[in-house]
Amino acid sequence: MEIVKTKVAIIGSGPAGLLLGQLLYKAGIDHVIVEQRSADYVSSRIRAGILEQVSVDLLTEAGVDENLKAHGLPHSGIEILTQGQKHRLDLAALTGGKQVTVYGQTEVTKDLMHAREQAGLSSYYEAHNVQIDDFYTQPKVTFQYQNQPYQIECDFIAGCDGFHGVCRASVPEDKIKTFEKVYPFGWLGVLADVPPVADELIYVQSERGFALCSMRSETRSRYYLQVPLTDHVDNWSDEQFWDELKNRLDPESREKLITGPSIEKSIAPLRSFVTEPMRFGKLFLAGDAAHIVPPTGAKGLNLAASDIAYLSSALIQYYLDGSEQGINEYSEKCLQRVWKAERFSWWMTHLLHRFETESEFDHKIKQAELSYILGSLAGQTTLAENYVGLPYEIKHLSEFQQAS
């Protein structure tokens, strides 16, 4: 058996695990990443597209913002289409100048993997049968790598292994509580090399269900349709997808929509899910391993980033001056922000989707709520300040260094 000793073992090489690795590397903290999939698989997954300003700032601090600054598209507004009318929310004007950046999660992942490779840091891709043990005493991670058994002995384990990972599943049942809501529909997503229908994202509430017009660049579009949970991607030809999208759009957008062959098509179920607490002895959960939001508020990747901001800061504090304060506060601080993002994502999902079970009364109330939000400065501000991302404070590496 190969024995590896390190300070932090990171399980999962999604954006959460990679970003934590990069921030620990910057602080000179020894760590490894263990990932069950191949590097190619990880770097080609198509997922999120919107970064809050605080996430952009964190990627800048991690030193992986070169491509982001060159190719990310800053957006200062979004459109909401309801009852055939588009309404623009001027995010920047409503939030004192804040905006979001359109930059694919795929690109974030590639940038972080590239930085990791350049720095020559240890990653075990295609690790099989990953298991974590003794995280209340002396943490261990075991797995098979290139047909060899490995054991990592470490101070801490960072469970960044997503919703289906092994870390949350390893916590004793009496130490963990989960909260869940599953929605009766999914999002059918299509990626296509066609120019976006508009300069800004359009969130569409229609009698036929929700739709979203998003993008990855000026030449690559990402569109979504609300579909029943029972639907299957094979039921949707490209032509059927474009026809249904057109049916949910306003006449002007329908006219402007440029269609083309899909380069990716998939259905994602929608779920709200929170784990409490997010720390178990020397095991920390971060990102989708700890919580899931429906994608309507564009919060999943951004929450993963804010968890990592808190976790990296806590670990840096521990290794620089021996203080356990950040470690002890990790779960509570994360959960405060997580629940607010859960609430916002749930609310946006309710407001904009068609629920089969909703009565005519429920439907009318929802229309009235949307009409109120869009017609009121207070309503618009509430939506905008949640969408651009709620602020949070952490101590940065440079501040620790100045203090010591």
Per-residue x/- track, 289-308, ligand PHB (CB under 6 A): ------xx-x----------
Active site residue 203: yes
Sheet containing strand 128-133, edge to edge, reads: 2-5, 148-153, 140-145, 128-133
Residue 353 designated active-site: no
Helix (H, G, I), strand (E, B) or coil at 194: coil
| Residue of 299, 333, 353, 366 with catalytic role | 299
**Least gap, CB of 36 to ligand RFL (angstroms):** 4
What does the block give as tokens for 29? 């903290």
> Could you tell me which of 273, 244, 272 has the C-alpha nearest to residue 259?
244
By CB under 6 A, the count of residues binding ligand RFL is 36
Binding span for ligand PHB by CB under 6 A among 47-55, 176-184, 362-370, 378-386 = 47-55
The DSSP bridge partners found for residue 100 are 75
Is the CB of 114 or the CB of 320 nearer to ligand RFL?
114
Q: Are 151 and 4 in contact (CB under 8 A)?
A: yes
Binding to ligand RFL by residue 189, rule CB under 6 A?
yes
Instruction: Identify what 296 binds: ligand RFL, ligand PHB, none; CB under 5 to 8 Å per kind.
Output: ligand PHB
Q: Does 262 bind ligand RFL (CB under 6 A)?
A: no
Is 98 labeled as catalytic in the residue annotation? no
How far lies 8's CA from each of 4, 113, 207, 302, 309, in Å? 11, 18, 50, 22, 15
Among 162, 196, 209, 326, binds ligand RFL (CB under 6 A): 162
149 labelled catalytic: no
Q: Residue 116: exposed, middle, or buried by beta-carbon count in 10 A (0-12, 13-18, 19+)?
A: buried
Q: Say whether residue 187 binds ligand RFL (CB under 6 A).
A: yes
**What's the rounded Cα separation, in Å, for the pair 127 and 149?**
10
**Interface positions, 195-234, toward ligand PHB (CB under 6 A):** 201, 212, 214, 222
- C-alpha distance across the termini of the chain, in Å: 40
DSSP-assigned states of every residue in 66-115: HHHHHH-EEE-EEEEEETTEEEEEEHHHHTTS--EEE--HHHHHHHHHHH
150 sits in the region (left: phi over 0; alpha: psi -120 to 50; else beta) called: beta
- Residue type at 283 in one-letter notation: L
Q: Does 34 bind ligand RFL (CB under 6 A)?
A: yes
Residue 302 contact partner, candidates ligand RFL, ligand PHB, none, CB within 5 to 8 A by sort of partner = ligand RFL
Active site residue 295: yes
Interaction between residue 139 and ligand RFL (CB under 6 A)? no
User: Is residue 50 within the footprint of ligand RFL (CB under 6 A)?
Assistant: yes
Q: How far is the CB of 45 from ligand RFL (least distance, A)?
A: 7
- Which amino acid, one-letter code, is at 33? I
Nearest residue (CB) to ligand RFL, 125 versus 400: 125
User: Binding to ligand PHB by residue 132, rule CB under 6 A?
Assistant: no
To ligand PHB, the closest distance from the beta carbon of 104 in angstroms equals 8
Q: Which residues of 41-76 are buried (b: 16+ CB within 10 A; e: fewer)?
A: ebbeebbbbbbbbbbbebbebbebbeebeeebbebb
Give the C-alpha distances (Å, rounded to integers) separating 386 from 275, 332, 377. Answer: 21, 20, 14
Nearer to ligand RFL, 71 or 371 (CB): 71
The item of ligand PHB, ligand RFL, none sharing an interface with residue 11, based on CB under 5 to 8 Å by kind, is ligand RFL
Provide the annotated active-site residues. Answer: 75, 203, 295, 299, 387
Residues that bind ligand PHB (CB under 6 A): 48-50, 201, 212, 214, 222, 295-296, 298
